[in-house]
Amino acid sequence: MHLKLSTRVLMPALVVSAGTWFVCCLPEARNPPIIQSHRLETQLEVPARVEATLTRSCKDCHSNETRWPWYSHIPLASDIIQEDVKRARTHLNFSDWSAKVSMGQEEERGALIGICEEMRSGDMPLPRYRRLHSEARMTEAEIENVCAWTGQTAAALSQPVVTPEQRPRPSR
């Protein structure tokens, strides 16, 4: 009798305590602030259809505009997702394209060429991301549109002297 009573009291208390810890004590996934002048779309002329593809298929991980899904707040899943986004932003962050610009034209050209290569190879978006986010899948036409833009922009950047005034910028 004593064991039954303590189990009926302690078990719910344990569940509530664990639930409270999961809800209140997990590190919250947050997006760093966006500085408009640092964004890809501010630094380079990006056609609307290319921007739409990048937004839908890339920017959840490769920008400071991540949409954190409900399951990104569940223990273990939260750690994996936050680490994936952190790693992606370190490699390439569309919200901080000025970091690529500051590294020089070769770095910026390499990033542009790399975007196309990753898409064509099927390595990006990550297969596990595509399984959960079917909207991130790209058609061949979308990939070719992005690759045409990255190729043209990288070629423009490889001109012998590209001064800040000669950079392919948005015409806004």
Per-residue pLDDT of the chain (172 residues; tens, 9 = 90+): 555 656 666 666 556 555 555 555 555 668 999 999 999 999 999 999 999 999 999 999 999 999 998 988 888 989 999 999 999 999 999 999 999 988 989 999 999 999 999 999 999 999 989 998 999 999 999 999 999 999 999 999 887 655 566 666 666 5
Cα angle, residue 133 at apex, residues 129 and 139 outer, rounded to 5°: 95
Q: Where are the domains of the chain?
A: 2-166
pLDDT of residue 75: 87
Give CA–CA dist 61/49, Å, rounded: 19
Task: Estimate to the nearest angstrom the gap between the alpha carbon of 137 and the chain centroid.
Answer: 14
Per DSSP, 133 falls in state: -
Give CA–CA dist 92/114, Å, rounded: 10
- Taking the model in full, what pTM does it have? 0.76
Give CA–CA dist 155/37, Å, rounded: 23
Do residues 118 and 125 lie in contact, with contact meaning Cβ atoms separated by under 8 Å?
Answer: no
